[in-house]
Amino acid sequence: MVYASQVISSAPLADDAALQKSAEQAVGKGGAKAGLTAEGIPVYRDSISGGEVYDAGFRNFLTMCWLQGKGKVEGEEGQYKVVVLRQEAEQNRVLTVKMAGDGASMKDKSDCLDGAFQAGWVKNEGSVVHSTQLAQWLDPAAIASSAVDLNIKLIKWRLVPELVPENIQGLKFLMLGSGTLGCSIARNLLGWGVRHITFLDSGVVNYSNPVRQSLFTHSDAKLKRPKAVAAAERARDVMPDLQGDVVELEIPMPGHPHSYKQENVDRLKQLIAEHDVVCMLTDSRESRWLPSLLVAEATMDSKGKGKTGPLAVTVALGFDSFVVMTHSCGSAKRACYFCNDVSAPTDSIKERTLDKQCTVVRPGVSGWSAAVAVELVASLSQHPDRWEAKPKAGESILGEVPDQIRGYLSNYRLAPMETEPFAHCVCCSQSIMETYRRDGNDFLKRVMENNSILEEVSGLNGMKQKVDDAIGDLELDEEDEDLCLL
């Protein structure tokens, strides 16, 4: 094979009227791509309109001349004379090309002719030629990666020119819970081309899971594979260049004294600090308390003022309804998952019959809520105020950015809402935060052992007492039956 070719002279063909005529005859009008003049000079019909750059086929043409010895200049080692015809006759050229190399001896690029010309390629300042990485067109994973990005770029090119895909694609997501919601949200994030998802879970895949938890299969259940491991692996099967990290850990829960482990609290804190979006997707109230507290702590300074940290997103399901909410972040004050509650989270499994331990949800609700949650994050990612965007701050280029969205399947209704934090919240209120900052892990340990101290510390008990005193024995609904968790 010719390893390199170099044009050593190039002149307008118009200077040689006879050669011009015989070259045109050699290829015929609009006919062949290449031919030979009566004098034996090779002629090439180039698709490039002018200059010293030639189309990609020219390289093959030169190789053919070299292999067959056509156009060889007598007495000049490795030199060939060829004619190049173009659309505009004044752009026609007659070239002398020097070629070197054969397959056996010229494998090393250092053997390349100095300043070598390669057909169809443009010379670079200071180097031989522009080079291109062909690997990306040969590796299926790389092809998939750019095809995914192309899908998103099409949104930008065709419909929303101001879209900045990197604002969502570059985010790091932490999935706290890799069950029904974790799987659905991850699938939707892959659709946006998100490359970094960390899956956390303490459970294994059960037989009932695969039909609703879209990253698992029956064989995962047979093997009782850890959910975080199986979810990450299956997500990578869908998108090979996903960085799918795995954390097998039980989140400590109020009312579950044995769930408290110092190293798990530390790990959780570290994970929250390393991610941009923290998704609360477990299936009990109490498992969401610690991560909600840690995010609140990361987004609020000691004076109760906002500082930017990760965005917390909570998704919770009822039989035919859901809520998607974003928590406070920086200057944006919003209700957290516990702001609506009038009791502290406790062990929700204990003393429940089996049918009460499994929640009963219409299958479509999880997919619907997951899609809404991901699209809300996508919209926030495009807003100039990002995680601090409040609904009043105006729309993002993808539309509204409500603090909370409730969905009702029975009448196919979505209700966007603006929210405020609750002063006596058992999770994000100032007094809870102050106590946590003062007592640190001691406070957490006490809460895991005795969840009722949350009602005391937050001032919720005092508030309930005041209400009782004012209007008699008020029955407060301790549990939102509408929004049981999956």
Residues marked active site are found at 358
**Does residue 286 bind Mg ion (CB under 5 A)?**
no
SS3 327: coil
Q: What does 178 bind: Mg ion, ligand ATP, Zn ion, none (CB cut-off 5 to 8 Å by kind)?
A: ligand ATP
**Does residue 283 bind Mg ion (CB under 5 A)?**
yes
Quick check: 234 and 216 in contact, CB under 8 A? yes
Quick check: 330 and 307 in contact, CB under 8 A? yes
Quick check: 359 and 349 in contact, CB under 8 A? no
Q: What does 208 bind: Mg ion, ligand ATP, Zn ion, none (CB cut-off 5 to 8 Å by kind)?
A: ligand ATP
**Token representation of residue 82:** 């060829």
Q: Considering the complex, what minimum distance in angstroms separates the CB of residue 184 from ligand ATP?
A: 9
**Does residue 348 bind ligand ATP (CB under 6 A)?**
no
- φ/ψ of residue 398, rounded to 5: -100, 5
Alpha-carbon distance of 42 to 23, in angstroms, equals 8
**Does residue 202 bind ligand ATP (CB under 6 A)?**
yes
Q: What does 180 bind: ligand ATP, Zn ion, Mg ion, none (CB cut-off 5 to 8 Å by kind)?
A: ligand ATP
**Does residue 248 bind ligand ATP (CB under 6 A)?**
no
Q: What does 220 bind: ligand ATP, Zn ion, Mg ion, none (CB cut-off 5 to 8 Å by kind)?
A: none
**Does residue 341 bind Mg ion (CB under 5 A)?**
no
Q: Considering the complex, what minimum distance in angstroms separates the CB of residue 290 from ligand ATP?
A: 9
Q: Considering the complex, what minimum distance in angstroms separates the CB of residue 433 from ligand ATP?
A: 22
Q: Considering the complex, what minimum distance in angstroms separates the CB of residue 296 from Zn ion?
A: 7
Q: Residue 286 or residue 403: which is nearer to ligand ATP going by CB? A: 286
**Token representation of residue 194:** 């998100």
- Report the alpha-carbon angle 321-327-333, nearest 5: 125
**Does residue 227 bind ligand ATP (CB under 6 A)?**
yes
Contact stretch for Mg ion (CB under 5 A) within 36-44, 260-268, 275-283, 346-354? 275-283
Q: What does 289 bind: Zn ion, ligand ATP, Mg ion, none (CB cut-off 5 to 8 Å by kind)?
A: none
What residues contact 364, with CB distance under 8 A and at least 6 apart? 409
**Does residue 179 bind ligand ATP (CB under 6 A)?**
yes
Q: Residue 95 or residue 483: which is nearer to Mg ion going by CB? A: 483
| DSSP strands (E only) in 46-88 | 79-85
**Does residue 457 bind Zn ion (CB under 5 A)?**
no
Quick check: 280 and 428 in contact, CB under 8 A? no
Q: Residue 220 or residue 388: which is nearer to Zn ion going by CB? A: 388
Alpha-carbon distance of 476 to 456, in angstroms, equals 17
**Does residue 287 bind ligand ATP (CB under 6 A)?**
yes
CA distances from 182 to 213, 325, 369 (A): 8, 15, 11
Q: Residue 245 or residue 286: which is nearer to Zn ion going by CB? A: 286
- φ/ψ of residue 463, rounded to 5: -65, -45
Q: Look at strands 79-85 and 93-100 and give their pairing.
A: antiparallel
Contact stretch for Zn ion (CB under 5 A) within 78-86, 402-410, 420-428, 463-471? 420-428
Query: CB atoms < 10 A from the CB of 267, how many?
Result: 15
Which residue is at the shortest CB distance from ligand ATP?
179
DSSP type of residue 284: S
Quick check: 369 and 407 in contact, CB under 8 A? yes
Q: Which of 280, 290, 329, 428 binds Zn ion (CB under 5 A)?
A: 428
Q: Which of 20, 169, 180, 458 binds ligand ATP (CB under 6 A)?
A: 180
CA distances from 144 to 148, 236, 335, 404 (A): 6, 12, 40, 34
Alpha-carbon distance of 478 to 348, in angstroms, equals 12
Contact stretch for Zn ion (CB under 5 A) within 80-88, 181-189, 259-267, 328-336? 328-336
Output 258-263 pairs: Cβ under 8 A, ≥24 positions apart.
Answer: 259/448, 260/444, 260/445, 260/448, 260/449, 262/441
Q: Considering the complex, what minimum distance in angstroms separates the CB of residue 177 from Mg ion?
A: 9
Q: What does 451 bind: ligand ATP, Zn ion, Mg ion, none (CB cut-off 5 to 8 Å by kind)?
A: none
Q: Residue 178 or residue 396: which is nearer to Mg ion going by CB? A: 178
Alpha-carbon distance of 428 to 449, in angstroms, equals 19
- Report the alpha-carbon angle 80-41-79, nearest 5: 5
Interface characters, 277-316, with Zn ion (x: CB under 5 A): ----------------------------------------
Amino acid at 283: D
SS3 290: helix
**Interface contacts to ligand ATP, rule CB under 6 A:** 177-180, 201-203, 206, 208-209, 213, 227, 250-251, 253, 282-284, 287, 358, 486
**Interface contacts to Mg ion, rule CB under 5 A:** 283
